[in-house]
Chain A
């Protein structure tokens, strides 16, 4: 798959993030083009989550910068809230609002910030196959359903890009498929996606590029086939052999 040359939608420039003495990200450079799906793999603690969280300013880099469609993502900006709304985020543990129904979760942000009604939120629930659960509270939903509501919620502000932070890691195995199906559907529609995941099958099938991270650095970037079948670095080979053997 070749992508037309276009300015990157998401751009990380020498981003470094430390937590005390731990360096979660070290001088990471990464560009994600419009419509591109990039999957980050790597052991836990390798910096995948921190990388994603820097893109919508949940983390502030200690050095370097993050650009979103040319705008600098900085928690100190006055319009940071509007900028955040441009990027949808899906969390490992769903983080649905337990005091709101499925519909309430999806409709909240557009209602508060744009004064919109429920119509679009309903359409989004339909898109993830959960229109019949509109009036149900999150604790009555299965893990897979929760994550699908969370995806609908993240889409509610019509983001230009989506971040998925290990979206299937907290799910029972039989529920992984339904969430990946929604994500696959989104990718097919041309959504720009940056995904941290352990789902190698998904990465192989859907990703345009795979990023292998370790110790806060990007070790290797390439097309899925190259990374999975012809990894160049020993560290990547070691990780993949461990993952694929399991």
Chain B
């Protein structure tokens, strides 16, 4: 069953790839990947910037996201509204607009000129809105009876969160958090708007320098897939394992 599934997936993937190649050949475009190869060092530094910005933004998003979730889970309306406001503003505006305002509008006030620092932080602030929602949904998905049982034993609110709610919620958060990491990897391409040379900006530069735009961008697309596909497979595997563990009690 499993091996057959894998075979079907491989066959379909291969067929689609072959169809693409045929389509490109029919278009009579003469591909030339040599210039892209010559610029491999630029691509390489682009990967480092993309990976660095994504990883740091994910960490910032995680920390701020917990804060956002705690705000939104508060018993006080004013505090809760503060969290709502954050999520609405960040999710309701394009990241391209946010990063532009952050770099050209806000950063100068604090005399911050480092593109990587400003860009990564802006990406983290952006991610926090989505991750906060993941955390909140995870916590809220835990049955109220769990909290009541813990409190009735005398556990404090903090002990209940730490020993009862979080361990259960965390398992449920892993798949959506992996999804968020994938989204961030791609979202980081918008950092080119403030002149940061990450993967996409590197590819565009290769295109401009060599007039081989199509090849330069095909290469970078393949690079993104190399990063995101394993994550996506991992997320799916975790999700399956999670489903199994919730059914039978095998624990992650």
Contact = CB atoms under 8 A, between A and B. Distances in A.
The 3 A-B pairs with the shortest beta carbon distances in the complex, nearest first, are: A85-B154, A95-B149, A95-B145
A137 B148 contact: no
A130 B20 CA distance: 63
A1 interface: no
B91 interface: no
Interface string B122-166: 000000000000000000000101101111111110010001100
A28 interface: no
B152 A89 contact: yes
A157 B154 CA distance: 8
A3 B146 CA distance: 36
A91 B153 contact: no
Contacts of B171: 99
Given A93-B145, A108-B163, A112-B159, A56 B152 contact: yes
B67 to A, nearest CB: 25
Interface in A85-136: 85-89, 91, 93, 95-99, 108-109, 112-113
Nearest to B144: A95
B155 A81 contact: yes
B154 A82 contact: yes
B251 interface: yes
Contact of A85 (B148, B149, B153, B248): B153
Q: Which of B143, B148, B149 has the most CB of A within 10 A?
A: B149
Nearest to B143: A95
A17 interface: no
Given A82-B154, A98-B168, A99-B167, A91 B249 contact: no
Given A91-B148, A95-B148, A112-B163, A137 B153 contact: no
A156 interface: yes
Interface string B165-203: 001100100000000000000000000000000000000
11 contacts: A81-B155, A85-B154, A88-B152, A89-B149, A91-B148, A95-B143, A97-B168, A99-B168, A108-B153, A108-B163, A139-B247
A153 interface: yes
Contact of A84 (B143, B153, B164, B168): B153
